[in-house]
Amino acid sequence: WLAFGVIKIHAYNVESYALPGRMDLFSRLIVFVEKWERELQNICVPFFFIISGYLFFRTFEMKKIFYKYRTRVRTILIPYIIWCSIYYIYLCLLSHIPQIGPYINNGEAIPFALSTWVDWVGNNSYYTLWFLKDLILLIIFTPVIYVFLKNHQKFPSGFVVIIALLITPIVFRNKIDIDVNSLVLYCCGAYVGINHKEIPKIQQKWLMSGARIIVIIFLLVNMLFIDEGIFSNIYAQIVMCISLWYAVKSDFFVHDLQWWYAISFYIYCIHDIFLEAIEKLFFIIFGNGSIFALMDYLLAPVITVILCVLSAAILKKYCPVIWGVLTGGR
């Protein structure tokens, strides 16, 4: 569901269809709905970082550091390089097609060059893959994160560090060029994984009821203050992620889910290839009418998920080696 939410974020199209400048009620309603949903979906990637931090550290010990590094080379680093390369070649080809080129990279053809590819992978990675690059950096600093976040018996030093980290988005706002939010979110999950790994498994009725009330309040506040960017705030994101976790009465640690529930990494990585193509076709075929903007926003993500699942099924069955490389052996 978080992967589907990310697709919906990238399906946001009110500017593409020039809807904000229109005064008719239908266009304004579409803008409102897309803005409301987009804000809600802004918790998807923060949730990903929190879960990643928790899962990485809940079984971690310092003696496992080199084993963790080896496994993450296979599951994160290699897929990151491959997916960056796929998107680079894909967009290079599209940008050189006369009928499509004007819609790609602001109309500028992307050069086929080794230096461009190196810059693409190491610096300007495709925008949907930025979370993988951040995750790689966080994994590199695993020993530091573990030492600082681990509580000691006589003093909860890790808790103190988490409080300090939660202040950093305020202290460093507009003062540094890097985004500290992914670090803070990942470390919140890591802190729980290191010191309180049983907390996410708690299922109490009072906790579920309270969490659902908080979720409903946030949804209403987001509706009333649609232009305020409620879920662009890291603290609102954290509260909403925690509340959603407990609001859903389910066992998140089961191992017998349908196979297509386990391809979220693949969906995160590949969805934009399908989504961009579908949205461009919508726009070229139907034009920029408000009704088509709504159709695009509602249908393109669903079609994209269907294509992701179908392509995953084909790769898993007929090209298992390629599937294993693309998904890091997941």
- Taking Cα atoms as reference points, which of 8, 1, 18, 41 lies closest to residue 229? 41
Q: What is the pLDDT of residue 122?
A: 81
pLDDT tens for each residue of 93-114: 888 887 777 767 677 788 888 8
pLDDT tens for each residue of 194-245: 999 999 988 889 999 999 999 999 999 999 998 888 888 899 999 999 999 9
User: Of the ranges 74-88, 165-179, 283-297, 299-313, which one carries the lowest mean pLDDT score?
Assistant: 165-179
Coil, helix or strand for 25?
helix
**pLDDT tops 90 at residue 76:** yes
Write phi, then psi, for 24 (nearest 5 degrees).
-70, 150
Coil, helix or strand for 245?
helix
For 155, the token pair is: 């003093």
Query: What pTM did the predictor assign?
Result: 0.89
Q: What is the pLDDT of residue 176?
A: 47
